[in-house]
């Protein structure tokens, strides 16, 4: 008879699921912190390389040498570079991005005031790009060489070719100046803008949401008439990019063997295309949509300038023309965080759309 031996309880056990999740979260946090640190290093170097003296920008060129030295010491510019960078990182981690030389307010406060306008505009434009771009790309991929495919490709080519400022100006001339179908530049008419400041409580900073929550439906309609044209211009460019990438992904997916098998088995064509193929295409398409959205949130400078849209792009542009480097660098940090955040969000969506990504 063979004797049964007790299991060796001293042997190492495989890590638990909680430990694996903790390691995964820790790695993500470390990667985000390293990316943020690299972003701060780049902006710090840019702030020291540009030929603009931050001391003179604060105190003016007529200040005495004593005032200059005192301001330089107050700004910490008399310290070694590594200490200056450490102070810069510590302040940024606390939400302190410096003080704007143009508005004389904290840069973080200015960005918090203008960013909702860009968020509102970019979100509506991206929704339009998704709703129009994905179906157009799918239809073009299922009918290669047809008039639908040629039309989608032509619309995409025009979207890449036409300058955004020209399209915005032509839109204002036609739909606002000649037809009067939409509102003009800005987020509201002058009268409604005054009423908004007096009667509507800022909850999100996005006019459409705040006026709807306050029940100011006339002001809401006025805001819609102002946002529809710039959102349409940006949405057209987003649609051109998304439709082109959707067509490319779908044509590659429709040539796979499992699609041929599904068709041979008699599965309806609409199910083959819109369920099986599109589901597998959604994983790379999420990255395309996220990057498109991030580019719009970055601040569409020309669109916001043409339509006098008080968003992040216009804020950074005005700061750049005024040599307001704290505002420019603070806006750059926020733009970088937007890209990092959306990339992280797209990674989470991967796992929801495709369980194999887990």
Per the domain annotation, does 108 fall within a domain? no
Residues 71 and 161 in one domain: no
DSSP-derived secondary structure letter, 64: -
> DSSP 3-state assignment of 145?
coil
Which pLDDT score is estimated for 3? 53
Cα separation, 314 vs 302, in Å, equals 8
Which pLDDT score is estimated for 339? 82
Residues 75 and 200 in one domain: no
Residues 243 and 160 in one domain: yes
In this structure, what CATH number is given to the domain that contains residue 213? 1.10.3720.10
Of the candidates 178, 268, 157, the one whose C-alpha atom is nearest the C-alpha of residue 229 is 178
Rg from Cα positions in the chain: 26
Instruction: Kindly give the interhelix angle for 17-49 and 81-93, rounded to the nearest 10 degrees.
Output: 130
Residues 70 and 203 in one domain: no
Per the domain annotation, does 110 fall within a domain? no
Residues 315 and 185 in one domain: yes
Per the domain annotation, does 10 fall within a domain? no
* Domain C-terminal end among 93, 123, 155: 93
* Domain C-terminal end among 26, 59, 93: 93
Residues 23 and 81 in one domain: yes
**How far from chain centre, in Å, is Cα 292?**
7
Residues 40 and 145 in one domain: no
Q: Which residues lie below 8 Å from residue 65, measured CB to CB, with a gap of 6+?
A: none
- The tokens describing 46, both together, are 């840019």
Per the domain annotation, does 99 fall within a domain? no
Cα separation, 73 vs 48, in Å, equals 16
Domain range for 66: 17-93
The answer to whether residues 48 and 88 touch, using CB atoms and an 8 Å cutoff, is no
Per the domain annotation, does 3 fall within a domain? no
Cα separation, 144 vs 79, in Å, equals 64
Per the domain annotation, does 337 fall within a domain? yes
Residues 285 and 332 in one domain: yes
Longest dimension (CA), the chain: 102
Q: Which residues lie below 8 Å from residue 280, measured CB to CB, with a gap of 6+?
A: 253, 354
Per the domain annotation, does 260 fall within a domain? yes
Which pLDDT score is estimated for 355? 62
Q: Where are the alpha helices (DSSP H) in 181-277?
A: 190-199, 207-214, 217-253, 257-264, 269-271
Which pLDDT score is estimated for 15? 55
Residues 88 and 137 in one domain: no
Residues 89 and 119 in one domain: no
Cα separation, 179 vs 254, in Å, equals 44
Residues 31 and 138 in one domain: no
End-to-end CA distance of the chain: 47
How many independent structural domains does the chain possess? 2
Phi-psi region of 268 (alpha: psi -120 to 50; beta: other; left: phi over 0): beta
Per the domain annotation, does 281 fall within a domain? yes
Q: pLDDT by residue for the chain (358 residues), tens digit each? A: 445 555 554 545 455 777 777 777 777 778 778 888 888 888 888 777 776 666 766 666 777 777 777 777 776 777 788 888 888 888 888 888 888 877 888 888 999 999 999 999 999 999 999 999 999 999 999 888 889 889 989 988 888 788 888 888 899 999 998 888 888 888 888 888 888 888 888 888 889 999 998 888 999 999 999 999 999 999 998 899 999 999 999 998 888 888 888 888 888 888 888 888 888 888 888 888 988 888 888 757 778 888 988 888 888 888 888 778 888 888 888 888 888 888 888 777 777 766 665 5
If 0-12 CB within 10 Å is exposed, 13-18 middle and 19+ buried, where does residue 325 land? Answer: buried
* Domain C-terminal end among 30, 60, 93: 93
Which pLDDT score is estimated for 51? 67
pTM of the shown model: 0.82
Residues 124 and 65 in one domain: no
The answer to whether residues 247 and 152 touch, using CB atoms and an 8 Å cutoff, is yes
């Amino acid at each position: 008879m063979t004797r049964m031996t007790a299991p060796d309880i001293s042997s190492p056990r495989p890590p638990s699921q909680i430990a694996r999740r903790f390691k995964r979260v820790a790695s993500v946090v470390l990667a985000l912190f390293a990316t943020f640190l690299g972003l701060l290093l780049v902006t710090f170097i840019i702030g020291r390389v540009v030929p603009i003296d931050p001391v003179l920008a604060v105190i003016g060129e007529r200040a005495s040498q004593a005032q200059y030295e005192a301001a330089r010491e107050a700004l910490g510019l008399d310290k070694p570079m590594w200490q200056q960078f450490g102070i810069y990182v510590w302040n940024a981690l606390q939400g302190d991005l410096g003080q704007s030389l143009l508005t004389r307010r904290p840069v973080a406060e200015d960005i918090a005031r203008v960013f909702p306008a860009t968020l509102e505009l970019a979100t509506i434009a991206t929704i339009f790009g998704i709703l129009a771009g994905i179906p157009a790309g799918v239809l073009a991929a299922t009918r290669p060489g047809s008039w639908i495919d040629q039309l989608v490709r032509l619309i995409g080519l025009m979207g890449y070719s036409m300058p955004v400022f020209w399209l915005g100006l032509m839109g204002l001339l036609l739909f606002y100046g000649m037809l009067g179908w939409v509102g003009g530049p800005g987020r509201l008419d002058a009268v409604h803008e005054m009423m908004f400041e007096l009667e509507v409580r800022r909850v999100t900073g996005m006019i459409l949401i705040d006026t709807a929550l306050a029940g100011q439906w006339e002001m809401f309609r006025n805001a819609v008439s102002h946002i529809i044209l710039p959102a349409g211009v940006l949405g057209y460019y987003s649609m051109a990019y998304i439709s082109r990438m959707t067509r490319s992904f779908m044509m590659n997916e429709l040539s796979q063997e499992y699609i041929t098998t599904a068709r041979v088995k008699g599965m309806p064509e609409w199910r083959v295309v819109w369920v099986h193929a599109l589901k597998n295409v959604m994983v790379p398409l999420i990255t395309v949509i996220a990057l498109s959205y991030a580019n719009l949130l970055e601040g569409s400078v020309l669109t916001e300038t043409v339509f006098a849209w008080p968003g992040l792009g216009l804020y950074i542009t005005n700061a750049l023309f005024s040599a307001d480097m704290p505002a420019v660098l603070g806006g750059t940090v926020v733009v970088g965080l937007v890209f990092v955040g959306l990339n992280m969000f797209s990674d989470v969506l991967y796992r929801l759309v495709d369980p194999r990504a887990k």
